[in-house]
């Protein structure tokens, strides 16, 4: 038997809507943690937990006997999309760190990218470097990238 959660997600998948469009407001997280690496670690853990929950839910759809073939195919595509996004984010974060930034976290939602960098201020050349890396790795337009510093 399929759980209510799996049925809800299956209906969402059929409508081709994302499971979660929410990105936590970084200001609320910022007040709850220190200025250091903990802030970035917490953001990454929350992001990864969100991806894990989405993957788990899609896997339930695939494993369910009560879900149609079309819904399962869409769930498989969504799993592939999430995994590709996760990999691209990881690569982009590592490439940005190689440019002498202490910490970085990247969020992706609705083809919009948010990048948070641990640095007092960003110069125009630094912004351009980050935009180029993110654009190339995640396949988005530079206009869809928001960069902020903390």
Phi, psi (deg, nearest 5) at residue 102: -65, -50
Residue 148: Cβ within 10 Å count: 10
Phi, psi (deg, nearest 5) at residue 148: -135, 155
**CA-wise closest residue to 134 among 123, 147, 150, 118:** 147
| Strand-by-strand arrangement of the 112-117 sheet | 104-109, 112-117, 145-149
Domains of the chain: 4-14+24-149 (1.10.287.4300)
Say if CB 60 and CB 2 are below 8 A apart.
Answer: yes
Q: Show Cβ contacts of residue 55 under 8 Å, excluding neighbours closer than 6 positions.
A: 79, 82, 83
- Output the pTM of the full model: 0.74
Phi, psi (deg, nearest 5) at residue 105: -135, 140
- Look at residue 72 in the predicted model and tell me its pLDDT: 94
Mean pLDDT per 10-residue run, the chain (150 residues)?
46 45 35 60 93 96 94 96 96 95 92 93 94 96 94
- Look at residue 45 in the predicted model and tell me its pLDDT: 94
pLDDT tens readout for residues 88-111: 999 999 999 999 898 999 999 888
- Look at residue 117 in the predicted model and tell me its pLDDT: 94
Q: Which residue has the tokens 């960003």?
A: 122
């Amino acid at each position: 038997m399929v759980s209510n959660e799996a049925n809800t997600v299956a209906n969402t998948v059929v409508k081709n809507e994302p499971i979660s469009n929410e990105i936590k407001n970084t200001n609320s997280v910022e007040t709850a943690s220190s200025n250091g690496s903990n802030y970035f670690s917490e953001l990454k853990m929350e992001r990864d937990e969100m991806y894990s929950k989405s993957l788990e839910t899609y896997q339930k759809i695939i494993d369910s006997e009560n879900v149609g073939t079309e819904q399962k195919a869409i769930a498989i595509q969504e799993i592939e999309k999430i995994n590709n996004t996760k990999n691209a984010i990881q690569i982009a974060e590592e490439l940005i760190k190689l440019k002498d930034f202490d910490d970085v976290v990247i969020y992706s939602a609705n083809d919009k990218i948010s990048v948070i960098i641990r640095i007092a201020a960003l110069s125009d050349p630094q912004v351009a470097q980050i935009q180029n890396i993110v654009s190339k790795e995640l396949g988005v337009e530079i206009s869809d990238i928001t960069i902020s510093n903390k």
